[in-house]
A and B are shown apart, each in its own frame.
Chain A
Amino acid sequence: MKKISLIPVLLVGALLVYAAQDFPEWGSPNSPASQSPVSSHFIANTGVDTEVPNMVTAVLADYRGFDTMFETVVVFIAGMAVLAILKNSSKKKAGSKEFEVDVEPDLIVTNTVRLLIPVIQIFAFYVLAHGHVSPGGGFQGGVVMGASFILIALSWDLDTALARFPADRCTLVAGLGIVLYAGIGLLSMFLGGEFLDYAELAQIFPVSREMARYHAMLGVEIGVGLTVTAIMFSLYANLSTEGRLKGGL
């Protein structure tokens, strides 16, 4: 089996190495990807179109907003699928595990985490809101936020974390994020533009068309952040307890 599996691997390898001869030189500014009119347009016009200094955020939430919306939907669906797979799956009682965690929460750990959690959460908001001018955005902010809840679950226990962010509310918040994203898109459609054409929002908000796109991007990123936060936490909560949402790591 081991030997046979080497054959396709080496075949693919030979093919890729053969193809690698035709790749552009590493880091060359004249490579086809860098010469492409699309990315040149993004680099040249992002500042004019949207006033967002971070091109990645602008491309993510505005130019390619439709793509990002459905990426968020994929994250949501994956989270729901995990729920569906693990819900009511384990019939055995908790005692039949290889090892069991029933120690008291450690004093030093919990007090350190008590100090850390607010900082982490504020940093998550900072990453989300400051994604327009620095690295960051909805995905990263959402993941950091979800990690703060996971940290609560790790240092106390899962019940403490679930008391702060109940499992059914996870589902609700995750759905809410997508609704917020799609809602901003639909709102701009009702105002006469196309779906996710944020510039039309300038009709109802007292800002210029560019700044409307700037602020709508923030709203969209908040939607992404909500979904990612909820799904990351519910992924952890379900995977660590086999869907029972009790005990666990």
Chain B
Amino acid sequence: MGLELFNTFILLLLVVAAIVALRVKDLLTASVVFGVYSFLMCLLWAEMGAVDVAFTEATVGAGISTVVMIATIFNLKRKSSD
């Protein structure tokens, strides 16, 4: 039961992080929040027993893709209209 509660809690946090990442007007904030989303996802997968997937998500999703997104925003406009 405890694990299930933990699971549900992280899932709800995931939904919040996804909505925040999509609603903020600042793209830099959006990519950092997307990194948070990836780390939450990684936590969830580690809890599900998918350790390899969790490891990959931690390095790739939260690490590289956030860095690459920020590198792109460096060359683009930082503000978003929605």
Contacts and interface: CB of A to CB of B under 8 A. Distances in A.
Interface of A: 54, 56-57, 97-98, 127, 135-137, 139-140, 143-144, 146-147, 150, 154, 232, 235-236, 239-242, 248-249
Given A137-B52, A239-B68, A239-B72, A144 B77 contact: no
A103 to B, nearest CB: 14
Given A97-B75, A146-B64, A147-B63, 13 more contacts: A54-B52, A57-B52, A98-B77, A135-B51, A140-B55, A143-B60, A144-B59, A154-B67, A232-B64, A236-B67, A239-B75, A249-B70, A249-B71
28 contacts: A54-B52, A97-B75, A98-B78, A135-B51, A135-B52, A136-B52, A136-B55, A137-B52, A139-B56, A140-B56, A140-B59, A143-B60, A143-B64, A144-B59, A147-B59, A147-B64, A150-B64, A150-B67, A235-B64, A236-B64, A236-B67, A236-B71, A239-B71, A239-B72, A248-B71, A248-B74, A249-B71, A249-B74
The B contact surface, by secondary structure, is helix
Given A98-B78, A135-B52, A136-B52, A236 B68 contact: yes
Contacts of B63: 143, 147
Nearest to B82: A2
Contacts of A54: 52
A240 B56 contact: no
A135 B64 CA distance: 19
Contact of B71 (A97, A127, A240): A240
